[in-house]
Amino acid sequence: MPNHSQDSTEIDKTEILKALAHPVRVDFLEWMKVPEEHFSNQLHPLEMGICAKQFEERCGLSQSTVSTHLSTLEKAGLVKSSRVGQWAFYSRDEEKIAAFLSDLKATL
């Protein structure tokens, strides 16, 4: 059984590919890549990340569905989250994404 405890540079290709298998999660990552285009109405600075509520408003999915998608992306290491009070903010983990793409290119 593979060891799922990871340090900050390890990537789990299978976990990432599973996360990328859903089009909504791919949309989330694409939107986060250019947040000023997709979340310009967010009241908090975009540098904080994207508030989970913004995803709900943009895609029209329920809070619980959006939360599940964001959790899957976070578990795969593609996004990072931070909390400010009751709000959760999400941003892409560019280092992990680059490592995954590099590893994929080298091994596939």
pLDDT along the chain (108 residues), means of 10: 47 93 97 95 92 94 96 97 92 96 92
d(CA 57, CA 62): 9
Q: Which CATH class is domain 13-107?
A: mainly alpha
For residue 5, the model assigns a pLDDT of 41
- Distance, CA of 12 to chain centre: 15
d(CA 20, CA 1): 23
Within 13 Å of residue 31, how many CA atoms lie on the same side as its CB? 22
Look-up of token digits 């990871």:
6
For residue 11, the model assigns a pLDDT of 80
Q: Where are the domains of the chain?
A: 13-107
Q: What is the pTM of this model?
A: 0.87
Q: Is 60 helix (H, G, I), strand (E, B) or coil?
A: coil
For residue 7, the model assigns a pLDDT of 45
